[in-house]
Amino acid sequence: MSNRTFTMIKPDAVRAGNIGNILQMITDAGFKIVAMKYLHITTAQAEKFYEVHASRPFYGELTQFMSSGPIVAAILEKENAVADFRKLIGATNPAQAEEGTIRKKYAASLGENAVHGSDSDENAKIEGEFYFSGIEQF
Ligand code: GDP
């Protein structure tokens, strides 16, 4: 169990003006922001980030969507960070997300679901290092 996870506020939530609301929910839930940046990734960068999903039928849609506008990428710290953050964001499909979760509140669809949250400690480390160098983490 590690105390760090990685998140992105996805282009749909940025377009809808929900960066502030989502960051508020994250910090209210006790997560500390260790690193953060606002950037627009290329399709090639999205393909690299989501390489593990390359064989999935939605890979093209996902990588197009993630490079369709700016995102906020962040590393978060809290005890039991990965599991607690998955609980805070809710199910992948917002129609199945519990009340009070970020996806229930701010996500529109299975594909455009407002936020990313790492699914393991190992992936949290890999994903955090994709965006941030050591001197960008506090
Ligand atoms: P997560 O860990 O809850 O984000 O879900 P997954 O790892 O299963 O999928 C990664 C991301 O791919 C999701 O957050 C969605 O943005 C996207 N995704 C998953 N399933 C679908 C789908 O059926 N269609 C589309 N367009 N995108 C999907």
Interval between CA 97 and ligand 1 midpoint (Å): 13
Average pLDDT over residues 11-21: 98
Average pLDDT over residues 63-80: 98
Considering the chain, what percentage of its residues have pLDDT values greater than 70? 99
Q: Which of 76, 116, 118, 127 is catalytic?
A: 116
Interval between CA 71 and ligand 1 midpoint (Å): 16
Architecture of domain 4-136: 2-Layer Sandwich (3.30)
- Whats the size of the chain, residue-wise? 138
Which residues lie closer than 8 Å to 116 by C-beta, 6 or more apart? 6, 7, 8, 10
Q: Residue 1 pLDDT > 70, yes or no?
A: no
Quick one: which of 47, 43, 34 has its CA closest to 132?
Answer: 34
| Ligand 1 close to Cβ of residue 124 (< 6 A) | no
**Average pLDDT value for the chain:** 97
Range list of H helices, the chain: 11-15, 19-28, 43-49, 59-66, 81-89, 102-106, 121-131
Mutational test site, ligand 1, from 92, 106, 120, max ligand atoms within 8 Å of CB: 92
Average pLDDT over residues 126-137: 97
pLDDT tens per residue, range 28-60: 999 999 999 999 999 999 999 999 999 999 999
Q: Residue 121 pLDDT > 70, yes or no?
A: yes
Q: Is 116 a catalytic residue?
A: yes
Domain extents for the chain? 4-136
Interval between CA 110 and ligand 1 midpoint (Å): 6
Predicted confidence at residue 91, as pLDDT, reads 98
**21 vs 2: which has the higher pLDDT:** 21
Q: How confident is the model at residue 2 (pLDDT cuts 50, 70, 90)?
A: confident
DSSP string, 85-102: HHHHH--SSGGGPPTTSH
pLDDT tens per residue, range 79-97: 999 999 999 999 999 999 9
